A = this chain, B = another copy of it.
Amino acid sequence: MAFFNNRELLQELGFGTKNYKTRVRFLNTDGSVNVKRSGLGLLRNLDVFHWLISTTAFKLNLVILIWYIFINSFFACTYFLIGPEHFGGLDVPVGSTFRELSALFFFSAQTITTLGYGHVYPIGELASTAASIESLLGLLSFAVATGVLYGRFSRPKAHILYSDSLLIAPYKEGKAIMFRLVNKKQSELIESEVKVNVTFTNAASNKREFYSLRLEIEKINFLPFSWTIVHPLNDESPIAGYSFKDYESLDFEFLVLFKAINDTVSQNVYSRFSYKPEQIIDQAKFLPMDQKVDKKGRVVIDVNDVNKFQKLN
């Protein structure tokens, strides 16, 4: 990616320049793009696997539990319709519907998990067929669960903590846009790359414009400590002519695209972040992160230090 002329309009970002009548946020704080796609009907729009592997652990467990209760209730009813007399060892008073349903519910649970204690067992073709289908369904469901859990665990993610604020800091003879990031996790990220784009409303045309920003360093081999990303506000910068006040009035947004290789799984990982004017601080500089050495001789850092900065007068 060469930047032969970075004052040129950036068309490659994909957000388009029109249709933005109000203030917008292009990237959410979690890095997701602020767009919802509809039009295919609920089922076809739903990307089940995507949801299952990217939702929270709490919601996933809830879904599994609800599914487990639902499927056992369904089969308990099915078995009840077939007739409780087709199940040996039920050992409940005849005619006690609730007790029968309850016993069949637990028989179902023992069948779908392929537990099969056997103190309750199906008698006759119909009950046996239903139980056969349930145990097959159970195995396939848990095959899906295995896939989902593995997909969640092995899904390569970049656990990047960005500084809450983007600073306009002194740099050489002038100023520079600066922000910091740090790897939150113990697994190493290698060959990390950052691209920063800026978008704002062109006051004259009233259209959105996008520019890429030239960075002091775009790629580093390791990310052991924090990495301060620096865009010098010199003559070559496409935003050199805009003051801190313009950031608010022209609805600036700094879009950060991060890419690295997770060393544990040897896969590419991506992260995104964006800074809106309320997150930008003029006349400030980052403070170095503390580094202690522990008993094992390792350099210990506190990732929260990524936010340590100092206001300049």
Contact = CB atoms under 8 A, between A and B. Distances in A.
Interface string A103-146: 10010011101111111011101001101100110111011111
B151 A154 contact: yes
Interface stretch (A14-22, A240-248, A277-285): A14-22
A62 to B, nearest CB: 13
A153 B144 contact: yes
Interface string A247-271: 0000000000100010111111110
Contact of A14 (B222, B261, B267): B222
A78 interface: no
Contacts of A151: 150, 153-154, 265
Interface stretch (A165-173, A201-209, A213-221, A231-239): A213-221
B142 A147 contact: no
A106 B135 CA distance: 11
Contacts of A269: 266
Contact of A102 (B125, B185, B298, B305): B125
Given A113-B139, A305-B39, A224 B33 contact: yes
Given A34-B297, A154-B49, A288-B18, A132 B118 contact: no
